[in-house]
Amino acid sequence: MSNAVPVLHVPDVLPQPYLLFLGDVVEPAYAKTALGLRDWAGERCVGEFACEGAAVRTGLPRLTPAQARALGARSLVIGVANPGGRIPEAWLSPLLEALHAGLDLVGGMHARLSGIEPLRNAAIAQGRRLIDVREPPSDLPVATGRKRTGRRLLTVGTDCALGKKYTALALARGLRERGYEADFRASGQTGILIAGQGIPMDAVVADFAAGAAERLSPDADPAHWDVIEGQGSLSHPAYAGVSLALLHGSQPDVVVVCHAHGRERVLGYPDYPLPSVEETIDLVLRLGARTNPAIRCAGVSLNTSGLDAAAAQRALDAAAARLGLPVADPMRGGRAFAQLLDACLG
């Protein structure tokens, strides 16, 4: 038997359907990979699997790896992204259970599955694959700053985990429904799992990050839209760097600012208050003008998932009146989202 562990880094050959692993998380924001796959690739997900004590559910059937394999699942996807992207000791037993049940493992964490000896040994013994999607291309260039053809829209946020990916996916779908050619450009592990391609921006060496954003949105037909998934926040105490690289490298013509209604502190950093939407718009436009002087903000995506329909509408109306811009919750759609799409198109 070969001593080489089978490691795959090619998203478009990911083994599907998926069983979604929720680990032991209790904060829904840290389960965004599982929730994103449920919402945007639900037809490729057979169920969920979690450690004892996990408080987050996707609403999919709760299955053991053996049950999932019997239903046709081919891989277990680690559906959580904890701070630091590490795989804790408590996860090893359920991950090993999945390998022994005949499932490949798909991870988007900073920690590489192939670097964990018990998983590597079990994968070799079981003839299974360890697949890390948070693996950037090896030949990324330094950014050129050259203006590219085509039209670009970037979602930016006041914080992490508040709807930048969902907003980009919804806007790309909305543009296509209106007859425009539009591609969703994934910049994180969940988006890559949904789209089948992309660049995990937070795994790129800093000097090449803006160059990676340039490659993510190449020259295109003048009428074509690239809708680019944002990462982090320009005001985040830890992740501002990846946000700035995306902003400079993607050279967006249009930005949509994303915010979670009622969130006042940076997720995971309670000593840091969130910047206001107004402050975020100002900062994004000032910094973005460095590589695209014509950058503009089309409006705001407001995550109102914690509100009922009536309260959500009041929040959207109040924010739109305050900002003088279209404000919509893309997951609710309706007239407000149509107005946001109108503003993106200019």
The answer to the question of residue 143 being in a domain is no
When pLDDT is averaged across residues 315-320 and rounded to a whole number, the result is 98
User: Are residues 21 and 169 located together in one domain of the fold?
Assistant: no
Tell me which residue range forms the domain holding 192. 151-345
Domain count, the chain: 2
| Spatial contact of 261 and 302, defined as CB atoms under 8 Å apart | yes
| pLDDT tens digits for range 261-274 | 999 999 989 999 99
The CATH number given to whatever domain includes residue 26 is: 3.40.50.720
User: Are residues 122 and 217 located together in one domain of the fold?
Assistant: no
The answer to the question of residue 139 being in a domain is no
pLDDT score, position 109? 86
Please tell me the pTM assigned to this model.
Answer: 0.88
The answer to the question of residue 190 being in a domain is yes
Of the residues 79, 99, 132, which one is the last residue of a structural domain? 132
- Give the CB-side neighbour count of residue 318, counting CA atoms within 13 A: 8
| Spatial contact of 167 and 330, defined as CB atoms under 8 Å apart | yes
User: Are residues 196 and 316 located together in one domain of the fold?
Assistant: yes
User: Are residues 124 and 233 located together in one domain of the fold?
Assistant: no
**Maximum alpha-carbon separation in the chain:** 67
User: Are residues 269 and 182 located together in one domain of the fold?
Assistant: yes
| pLDDT tens digits for range 113-152 | 989 999 999 999 999 999 999 889 889 999 999 999 999 9
User: Are residues 25 and 158 located together in one domain of the fold?
Assistant: no
Q: In terms of DSSP H, where are the helices of 14-91?
A: 32-40, 65-70
